Amino acid sequence: MSELTVRLTDLAHGGGCGCKLAPSVLQKLLAGQSSAQPYAQLLVGTETGDDAAVWQFDDEHCIIATTDFFMPMVDDPRDFGRIAAANAISDVYAMGGKPLMALAILGMPLDKLPVEVVRQILQGGASICAEAGIPVAGGHSIDSKEPIYGLAVIGLAKRSNVRRNGGARPGDVLLLTKGIGFGIYSAAFKKHALPADAYTEMIGSATLLNRIGETLAGSEHVHAITDVTGFGILGHALEMARGSNVGMDISYGDVPLLAMAEELAEAGYVTGASGRNWDSYGSEVRLPPDIPDWRQKLLTDPQTSGGLLVACAPEHADALVSEIRAAGYPLARTIGTATNGPPVIRVT
């Protein structure tokens, strides 16, 4: 079998973070499984759906541990590996940490894919790990019906630099570091409707490491961080609102978008996960009465290796945006504010 006889995306029923279980399903599965006690050193567990687990091992330092894997959203095996690795490492950056090493998670239908294609997936992931300055120190592999790849990642952070998805304060400004629209682009790609320049944009965004998170966590003016992945910008903002016990106002016009995101969404290139996301948390979101359905789907669009959502002191927001852009995130901008009140997202 040659590499060109089968598309990776044809071997998977879904792709990227669009494969994640819906938020409502995940809540049911985790109900009653609190991890907080009796482990006093476990600073962050499953309580608020945060990005990674955090374990304090001495007075100053914490270990960060996470895992992330999914099925392909692109056909180029190296691109798939690069995206999956960047997405997994992002959880460590979102907690304010520095990645130390990774373990590969691999499931492949070897009766359908040549070994060389699988090798390219692993090489793609390893190249992103090298960019992050960490080794792939081992892992585990199985023969599976669908292609699966990802990483378990271990990181390190100062105790004072750990940032949770809770911690936002009323009056904080919300920043987003990358554009929205990955799920829409991937839906168009699967239907052979994504132009070559848009594909390049999608890969560039998804393989851009969120290493700025480690820098932001060193600022006392940054109060909360999370990365935006499978639940969409509304879902991850709602997790931050719940964890912080604040409301949030988001301006649709200020949300950064990939260049063709609106055009493709309006044309109907959306994922099934977008609808599942809305069904899970739409009751806690207030949208303008005249908003088009396709814009709603854009706001619930599942991101794969998306940007960081950051809550910071308002007087420092402009300076932080400038710092983020200078670090290589040109679409970074302010998108809203945290408010007093119940954890509800209001979109204007």
At 100-148, the pLDDT tens digits run 999 999 999 989 999 999 999 999 999 999 999 999 999 999 999 999 9
- What the block records as the tokens of 132 is 């992050």
CATH number for region 173-347 = 3.90.650.10
Question: What would the mean pLDDT of 67-94 be, rounded to a whole number?
Answer: 96
As a whole number, the mean pLDDT across the chain is 92
Give the amino acid at 276.
Answer: R
- What the block records as the tokens of 339 is 């408010």
pLDDT at 246 over 70: yes
Taking CA atoms, 84 is separated from 72, 81, 153, 171, 229, in Å, by: 9, 5, 12, 35, 12
CB 197 within 8 A of CB 205: no
Q: Half-sphere exposure (CA, 13 Å, Cβ side) for 102? A: 33
Whole-structure pTM value? 0.92
DSSP 100: E
What distance in Å separates the CA atoms of residue 204 and residue 184, rounded to the nearest whole number? 15
Q: Per-domain residue ranges for the chain?
A: 3-161, 173-347
Q: Based on the number of CB atoms within 10 Å of its own CB, is 69 exposed (0-12), middle (13-18) or buried (19 or more)?
A: middle
At 278-288, the pLDDT tens digits run 999 999 999 99
Summary count for the chain: helices (H), strands (E): 11, 13
At 54-63, the pLDDT tens digits run 999 898 999 9
Using 50, 70 and 90 to split pLDDT, how confident is the model at 1? very low
Query: How many residues in the chain?
Result: 348
pLDDT at 17 over 60: no
Q: Which CATH superfamily is domain 3-161 in?
A: PurM-like, N-terminal domain (3.30.1330.10)
pLDDT attached to residue 64: 97
Is-same-fold flag (3-161; 173-347)? Answer: no
Using 50, 70 and 90 to split pLDDT, how confident is the model at 6? confident
pLDDT at 3 over 70: no
Q: Catalytic residue among 17, 19, 129, 312, which?
A: 17
The answer to whether residue 17 is catalytic is yes
pLDDT attached to residue 40: 83
Using 50, 70 and 90 to split pLDDT, how confident is the model at 31? low
pLDDT at 230 over 50: yes
Q: Based on the number of CB atoms within 10 Å of its own CB, is 58 exposed (0-12), middle (13-18) or buried (19 or more)?
A: exposed
Q: Which of 262, 289, 258, 294 is nearest to 275 (CA)?
A: 294
Supply the Cα-derived Rg of the chain in whole angstroms.
19
Using 50, 70 and 90 to split pLDDT, how confident is the model at 264? very high
pLDDT attached to residue 2: 40
Give the amino acid at 207.
Answer: T
Instruction: Give the whole-number percent of the chain exceeding pLDDT 90.
Output: 84
Question: What would the mean pLDDT of 248-268 be, rounded to a whole number?
Answer: 98
- What the block records as the tokens of 308 is 């960081």
β-strand 345-347 against 285-286: which pairing, if any? parallel
Higher pLDDT, 103 or 9: 103
Q: Coil, strand, or helix at residue 148? A: strand
What lies within 8 Å, CB to CB, of 124 at 6+ separation is: 77, 78, 79, 80, 81, 82, 85
Q: Coil, strand, or helix at residue 138? A: strand
pLDDT at 67 over 90: yes
At 281-330, the pLDDT tens digits run 999 999 999 999 999 999 999 999 999 999 999 999 999 999 999 999 99
pLDDT attached to residue 345: 98
Give the amino acid at 318.
Answer: D
Among 41-50, 208-217, 226-235, 244-253, which stretch is predicted with the lowest mean pLDDT? 41-50
Among 1-5, 37-41, 266-270, which stretch is predicted with the lowest mean pLDDT? 1-5
What distance in Å separates the CA atoms of residue 124 and residue 137, rounded to the nearest whole number? 15
Whether the CA torsion 47, 224, 226, 158 is positive or negative: it is negative
